[in-house]
Amino acid sequence: MHSMFKRTAAALAASVALAAPVAAELTGELRIFLDTSNPAPRATMEAMIERFAAEHPGLEIETTVIDREAYKTQIRNFLTADTPDVATWYAANRMKPYVEAGLFEDVSDLWAEPEIAENLASTKGAMTIDGKQWGVPYTYYQWGVYYRKDIFDELGLTEPTTWEEELANCQKIVDSGRACYTIGTKFLWTAGGWFDYLNMRTNGFDFHQQLANGEVSWEDDRVKQTFANWKQLIDMGAFIDNHQTYSWQEALPFMVKGDATAYLMGNFAVAPLREAGLTDDQLDFYQFVAINPDVELAEDAPTDTFHIPANASNKEAAREFLRFVASANEQTEINNGANLGQLPVNAQSSVDDDKFLQQGFTMLSSNSPGGVAQFWDRDAPAEMAKVSMEGFQEFMVKPDNVDRILAKLERARQRIYDN
């Protein structure tokens, strides 16, 4: 530990000596690309960058905000040409293509500094590829079941914790003429969330990661068991009809109107549900139930990150910015209810008082012993994620096709992981 610190300090001193005569003063231009294009996150990020700029008056900071969806394709261009010094992205396999192509800067040196090493340890695994770290996280959020408490009360239901209770609850909801879950699978990934939970609860976190890494056959009996559990829900009419036509936002009104009672979603669904008029008395949250009592509970908690492109020109300032973003105070500030309304990654940060964030924080820190997954389309390679989520969607519409779908996914697996 001590020697490591000394080495870092020496490296830092060397680079400073090379760069500028004044030690602490950063100069030059710092270009930051952000995908936080929604109004609230955008304001949060711009305020954060202003605070950073105030600390470093010598820096000329230029911020570019790109539409969140467009960013996903544009990143391929701007990492190779006209490269910024800092860029947002996602953890785990989603950064793998850029790491392998040598387009992200290795920031293991930052992770060797005690401030980051000790406080961000929980996400170190998700930031690591080939034993090195490639960025720092700034926020994450829990997934789980958001439900209409008033309808549960009306039907005399309580929050379930086992699969049997879940099915019994759902049967009562269906009998009352409602659907248990709203979902919109037009853009596929929402079905990936259901698969994450059903598979992690049926076969455990490690098996789930093996499947994402292509080490297990899709025609394995354990995978089939996951789909059998899923089919139980589909056959009893748990999901709303025509979900393949809706986006996740278009599926919200079903819950608001009371045609469906629950939504398996990320915490970002809370804001639009509140805006649509649901009060905190009507809306509540529970952890996805246990299915197989032999496996430990594991959760999805997608992490958003900052990276330094390998072609960046002001890496010294970029590193300072990453330190700033990872610091406890900043993470408390940007993740509070007035800003992102999500969970800080830094262990020294404090979580907002919001009841969903509090529940999510407790769940992730004390009731997720199995591990924390990123999300299906971030854990699996992009191609496999695409093919499989299409399969999940088809399965949710035509559960009887399961064998054909799994055979197709197995063929895809053999092609995709082969090289």
Partner 1 sequence: MTAVADIQEQESWFHRNQQRIAPWLFLAPGLLFFMVYVIIPVFQSFNLSLYEWDGLGAAEYVGFRNYEDLYWEWVDRDAFYISLKNNLIWLLLYLLSIPAGLFIALFLNQTVRGIRLYKSLFFFPFVISQVVVGLVFTWFYDPTFGLLNEFLGFFGLGPLNVLGDERFVTYGIIFAGLWPQTAYCMILYLTGLNAVDPEQIEAGRLDGAKGWRMLWHIILPQLRPATFIAFVVTIIGALRSFDLISIMTQGGPFGSSRVLAYYMFEVALSEYGFRMGYGAAIAVILFLIMLCFIAYFLWSMYREEKGH
- Give the DSSP letter string of 152-192: HHHHT-----BHHHHHHHHHHHHHTT-EEE----TTSHHHH
Greatest CA separation found in the chain? 75
Work out how close the CB of 76 gets to partner 1 at its nearest, in angstroms, rounded to a whole number.
6
Q: Of 124 and 411, which CB lies nearer to partner 1 in the complex structure?
A: 411
Work out how close the CB of 182 gets to partner 1 at its nearest, in angstroms, rounded to a whole number.
12
155: number of Cβ within 10 Å: 14
Q: Of 26 and 99, which CB lies nearer to partner 1 in the complex structure?
A: 99
3 state SS of 371: strand
Q: How far apart are CA 74 and CA 71, in angstroms?
A: 5
Closest among 143, 145, 141 to 289, alpha carbons compared: 145
Work out how close the CB of 211 gets to partner 1 at its nearest, in angstroms, rounded to a whole number.
17
Q: Of 100 and 175, which CB lies nearer to partner 1 in the complex structure?
A: 100
Work out how close the CB of 389 gets to partner 1 at its nearest, in angstroms, rounded to a whole number.
9
Work out how close the CB of 383 gets to partner 1 at its nearest, in angstroms, rounded to a whole number.
6
Q: Of 300 and 377, which CB lies nearer to partner 1 in the complex structure?
A: 377
Work out how close the CB of 269 gets to partner 1 at its nearest, in angstroms, rounded to a whole number.
19
Whether 121 contacts 348, CB under 8 Å: no
311: buried, middle or exposed (CB in 10 Å: 19+, 13-18, 0-12)? middle
Supply φ then ψ for residue 269, to 5 degrees. Answer: -75, -20
Q: Of 246 and 285, which CB lies nearer to partner 1 in the complex structure?
A: 246
Work out how close the CB of 2 gets to partner 1 at its nearest, in angstroms, rounded to a whole number.
39
3 state SS of 418: coil
- Pairing outcome for strands 298-300 and 371-373: parallel
Q: Of 6 and 411, which CB lies nearer to partner 1 in the complex structure?
A: 411
Q: How far apart are CA 89 and CA 72, in angstroms?
A: 9
Q: Of 74 and 122, which CB lies nearer to partner 1 in the complex structure?
A: 74
Work out how close the CB of 394 gets to partner 1 at its nearest, in angstroms, rounded to a whole number.
4
- Give the DSSP letter string of 373-386: E--HHHHS-HHHHH
**Which two tokens mark 28?**
């030059």
Q: Of 323 and 408, which CB lies nearer to partner 1 in the complex structure?
A: 408
Contacting residues toward partner 1, per CB under 8 A: 69, 72-73, 76, 79-80, 97-98, 100-101, 103, 186-188, 241-242, 244-245, 377, 382-383, 385-386, 390-391, 393-394, 397, 408, 411, 415, 419
- The contacts of residue 35 (CB under 8 Å, 6+ apart) are 65, 66, 67, 68, 71, 72, 88, 89
Sign of CA dihedral 296, 206, 146, 218: negative
154 Ramachandran zone, left/alpha/beta (phi>0; psi -120 to 50): alpha
Work out how close the CB of 212 gets to partner 1 at its nearest, in angstroms, rounded to a whole number.
14
**Which two tokens mark 394?**
């088809």
Q: Of 325 and 406, which CB lies nearer to partner 1 in the complex structure?
A: 406
Whether 218 contacts 395, CB under 8 Å: no
Q: Of 366 and 419, which CB lies nearer to partner 1 in the complex structure?
A: 419
Work out how close the CB of 152 gets to partner 1 at its nearest, in angstroms, rounded to a whole number.
24
Q: How far apart are CA 409 and CA 417, in angstroms?
A: 12
Work out how close the CB of 245 gets to partner 1 at its nearest, in angstroms, rounded to a whole number.
4
Q: Of 91 and 326, which CB lies nearer to partner 1 in the complex structure?
A: 91
